[in-house]
Structure 1
């Protein structure tokens, strides 16, 4: 079994990455589309 420090370190790393992605243009478009009850349009983000 893995030690708790290793698991905690991985969880912290994943949490930081998740937070970084929440403010991405893709996430912004997804949240706006959901709020406006429409399909997201990611074509202009490439």
Structure 2
């Protein structure tokens, strides 16, 4: 029923958050730790 939806939605959310952390130029400078964490999470997810 709603078991095949959580997966793609979660992936999309992770991608969005990673992009926001990688390119938060409008908010503030991009922290190296955040980018590293995003890259690690991306590798783990993929």
TM-score, normalised to structure 2, is: 0.46
TM-score, normalised to structure 1, is: 0.46
Q: Which has the higher contact order (CA 8 A, sep 6+)?
A: 2
Query: Higher helix proportion, which one?
Result: 1
